[in-house]
Amino acid sequence: SQKIEQNSEALNIQEGKTATLTCNYTNYSPAYLQWYRQDPGRGPVFLLLIRENEKEKRKERLKVTFDTTLKQSLFHITASQPADSATYLCALDGDDKIIFGKGTRLHILP
Amino acid sequence: GAVVSQHPSWVICKSGTSVKIECRSLDFQATTMFWYRQFPKQSLMLMATSNEGSKATYEQGVEKDKFLINHASLTLSTLTVTSAHPEDSSFYICSAPRWVTDTQYFGPGTRLTVL
């Protein structure tokens, strides 16, 4: 069956460290992967998109990798700050629509 | 960046009544908009794809007669929850894609509570 999984429901990281979130998928062949941030009671906000022919993408303190062999994307936040605490969603294009993972709730501890 | 608004941001209604939620793209035209529902600690579940000038496409298991979608213009889509019941209480979010950049811009969401 087709699945998109974010392996941690919640993750606690000490301030200043790098937070790494994982997104794995099964039985999809996405042309791209997206990462979103969602704060409680708010709609998701687009952060980064990485295409299948790109290995890595960066935006300020954010870095995303995409390994089509492992069927995995990693999302890194370097020098993490308490303000980075939120739920992070990965999404991919599958079956003519965007499919979302359940998200990882990230807590940056001061 | 692109902005999508939703109105209202929250609504409380009695069981059996209908509720209309508006989704607007403020600085770009959207021939397509998506409607999602999100239950607590769950992922976004696509309900339907709203197409300007034509009928919406509903996902499997979503009742089209209960969740009426109208996409009357290039900047406005509406979702009407008809004869709402407590199990319809959820967070409803719309989004509008910018195909050129393969990104979606989400509205802030509407919290519906049916008593």
Output A100-103 pairs: Cβ under 8 A, ≥24 positions apart.
A100/A4, A100/A36, A100/B43, A100/B44, A101/A4, A101/A5, A101/A6, A101/A23, A101/B43, A102/A5, A102/A6, A102/A9, A102/B41, A102/B42, A102/B43, A103/A6, A103/A38, A103/B43
With contacts defined as CB-CB under 8 Å, which chain A residues touch B111? 41
B-chain residue closest to A48, CA distance: B103
- pLDDT at res. A96: 74
What is the reported pLDDT for A1?
82
A43 touches chain B (CB under 8 A): yes
Q: What is the CA radius of gyration of chain B?
A: 13
Say yes or no to pLDDT of A104 above 70: yes
- B106 neighbourhood in chain A, CB within 8 Å: 36, 43-46
Q: Are strands B90-98 and B32-38 parallel, antiparallel or unpaired?
A: antiparallel
pLDDT of residue A16: 97
Distance from CA of B69 to the nearest CA of A (A): 18
Residue closest to B80 by CA, chosen among B61, B65, B90: B65
- pLDDT tens across A50-82, in order? 999 999 999 999 999 999 999 999 999 999 999
Q: Given an 8 Å threshold on Cβ–Cβ distance, is B103 in contact with A34?
A: yes
Run means of pLDDT, 10 residues per run, chain B, 115 residues? 88 97 92 93 90 91 94 93 96 88 88 96
pLDDT of residue B102: 75
Residue A98's nearest CA partner among A7, A16, A28, A14 is A28
pLDDT of residue B2: 64
Q: Report the amino acid identity of residue A83.
A: A
B109 neighbourhood in chain A, CB within 8 Å: 41-43
pLDDT band at A26 (very low <50, low <70, confident <90, very high): very high
Work out the pLDDT band at A14, boundaries 50, 70, 90: very high
With CA atoms as reference, the chain B residue closest to A6 would be B43
A95 pLDDT higher than 90 = no
Interchain pair A102, B42: CB under 8 A: yes
3-class SS at B87?
A: helix
**Percent of chain A, pLDDT > 70?**
100
Structure tokens at B37: 């529902």
pLDDT reported for residue B38: 94
* Partner-chain contact B106 A45, CB within 8 Å: yes
All residues at 6 or more sequence positions from B27 whose CB lies less than 8 Å from its CB, including other chains = B2, B3
